[in-house]
């Protein structure tokens, strides 16, 4: 899978992709990222990317021409043409303004570059999603991350200033995404969030293939295979509920002891405890999720008991 990020702050992404799981995924060639400097697609002495809004008002708006050029350099045509089923220009992925996210001194650079080379193969438009990051977008969710993880190429356009000329959204973008109900200074942080949440779902990216399934917002209960080693997993794990609390050694810390149930090896007991904790946490922090969650009869009973205790 490949991400293309169009931004006026390409350096912003360097440290993000140099650490942790993202760094490993890039180094191992499980994913590749191209960061494209929007200013490379300007033609004036000042490399102007923004202008004042028509109709007046505060702030500046990202101009459409550099964005359209940046997208064209990635082989992204206006939606109308893409829908007509045209193929991408395969040779344009490594282009003007593109940088590897991995600095040259790091040994993983070669892997990342090799991947960039691989990604220049013909890609159908159906396998490409162009996304505008903005506070006005649809909320980004785990379900959306899963959808994107099944996409071959995701192009992320980072908004800045007061916004992006709406014609870019209308002409090129398949989706406008927001990472939450707050206004950021730009789409860069949001793009990093989308890349992180999506790429950790790709096969092989997490050490433990199963672990992304069992956390908050993971796949529905019915989709989760039962554990073969007999250790209770949160099969209950997600299904739209928040994850249960986790503990590791020492068994006592800061005057608090790990719940006895987790120490005694009673797998069925552990499973029940974890499910109850999920319900508790979801009720306390995200009661809205309970409406969409797949809850068993036993869950409903547990919830009732939890609610009664709270009264
Ligand atoms: N740009 C500014 N605010 C944003 C948000 N909440 N999500 C995505 N992009 C943004």
Ligand 1: residue whose CA is nearest its atom 4: 135
Dihedrals phi, psi of 34, to nearest 5 degrees: -115, 125
CATH 3.40.1280.10 fits 2-199, yes or no: yes
Evaluate: CB of 20 within 6 angstroms of ligand 1: no
How is the chain split into domains, by residue range? 2-199, 211-310
* Amino acid 100: pLDDT: 56
Burial label for 72, CB within 10 Å (0-12, 13-18, 19+), is middle
Q: Give, for ligand 1, the residue of 157, 185, 189, 197 to mutate: max count of ligand atoms closer than 8 Å to Cβ.
A: 189
Ligand 1: residue whose CA is nearest its atom 2: 184
Going by the DSSP 8-state scheme, the letter that residue 59 receives in this structure is: S
Question: What is the arrangement of strands in the sheet containing 98-100, beginning at the earlier edge strand?
Answer: 98-100, 32-37, 2-7, 153-158, 128-139, 175-178
Evaluate: CB of 187 within 6 angstroms of ligand 1: yes
Ligand 1: residue whose CA is nearest its atom 6: 135
The reported pTM is 0.82
Distances in Å between the Cα of 133 and the Cα atoms of 12, 169, 240 are 15, 10, 25
CA of 136 to the centre of ligand 1 (A): 7
Distances in Å between the Cα of 234 and the Cα atoms of 120, 217, 222 are 40, 12, 12
* Amino acid 169: pLDDT: 98
Residue 58 CA to chain centroid, in angstroms? 31
CA of 174 to the centre of ligand 1 (A): 16
Evaluate: CB of 180 within 6 angstroms of ligand 1: yes
* Amino acid 83: pLDDT: 81
Dihedrals phi, psi of 84, to nearest 5 degrees: -70, 0
Evaluate: CB of 159 within 6 angstroms of ligand 1: yes
CATH architecture label of 211-310: Orthogonal Bundle (1.10)
Longest dimension (CA), the chain: 70
By the 8 A CB rule, do 119 and 33 touch? Answer: no
Among 100, 72, 88, residue whose Cα is nearest residue 128: 88
Alpha helices in the chain (DSSP H): 12-17, 20-27, 64-73, 79-83, 109-118, 142-149, 166-172, 188-199, 267-285, 287-292, 297-310
Going by the DSSP 8-state scheme, the letter that residue 186 receives in this structure is: B
Evaluate: CB of 178 within 6 angstroms of ligand 1: yes
Evaluate: CB of 184 within 6 angstroms of ligand 1: yes
Q: Give, for ligand 1, the residue of 190, 194, 195 to mutate: max count of ligand atoms closer than 8 Å to Cβ.
A: 190
Rg (CA), the chain: 23
Ligand 1: residue whose CA is nearest its atom 10: 134
pLDDT tens for each residue of the chain, 311 residues long: 999 999 999 999 999 999 999 999 999 999 999 999 999 999 999 999 999 999 999 999 999 999 999 999 999 999 999 888 755 544 333 345 666 554 343 322 322 322 333 333 334 445 999 999 999 999 999 999 999 999 999 999 999 878 999 999 999 999 999 999 999 999 999 999 999 999 999 999 997 555 666 677 776 543 443 344 443 333 333 458 999 999 999 999 999 999 999 999 999 999 999 999 999 999 999 999 999 999 999 999 999 999 999 98
* Amino acid 112: pLDDT: 30
């Amino acid at each position: 899978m490949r991400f293309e990020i169009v931004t006026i702050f390409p350096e912003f992404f360097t440290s993000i992709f140099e650490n942790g799981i993202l760094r490993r995924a890039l180094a191992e060639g499980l994913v590749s990222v191209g960061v494209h400097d929007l200013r490379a697609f300007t033609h004036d002495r000042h490399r102007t990317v923004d202008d004042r809004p028509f109709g007046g008002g505060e702030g500046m708006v990202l101009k459409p021409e550099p964005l359209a050029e940046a997208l064209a350099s990635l082989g992204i045509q206006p939606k109308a043409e893409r829908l007509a089923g045209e193929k991408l220009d395969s040779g344009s992925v490594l282009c003007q303004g593109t940088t590897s996210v991995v600095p040259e001194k790091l040994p993983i650079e070669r892997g990342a570059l090799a991947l960039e080379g691989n990604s220049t193969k013909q890609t159908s438009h159906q396998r490409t999603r162009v996304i505008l990051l903005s506070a006005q977008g649809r909320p980004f969710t785990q379900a959306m991350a899963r959808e994107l993880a099944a996409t071959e190429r995701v192009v992320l356009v980072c908004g800045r200033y007061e916004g992006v000329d709406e014609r870019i959204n209308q002409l090129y973008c398949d989706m406008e995404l927001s990472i939450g109900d707050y206004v950021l200074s730009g789409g860069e942080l949001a793009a990093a969030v989308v890349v992180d949440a999506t790429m950790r779902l790709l096969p092989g990216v997490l050490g433990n293939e199963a672990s992304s399934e069992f956390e908050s917002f993971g796949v529905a209960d019915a989709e989760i295979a039962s554990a073969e080693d007999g250790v209770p997993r949160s099969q209950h794990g997600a299904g739209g509920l928040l994850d249960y609390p986790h503990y590791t050694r020492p068994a006592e810390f800061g005057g608090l002891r790990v719940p006895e149930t987790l120490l005694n090896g009673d797998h069925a007991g552990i499973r029940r405890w974890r499910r109850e904790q999920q319900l508790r946490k979801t009720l306390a922090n995200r009661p809205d999720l309970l409406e969409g969650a797949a809850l068993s009869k036993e869950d409903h009973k547990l919830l009732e008991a939890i609610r009664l205790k709270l009264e």
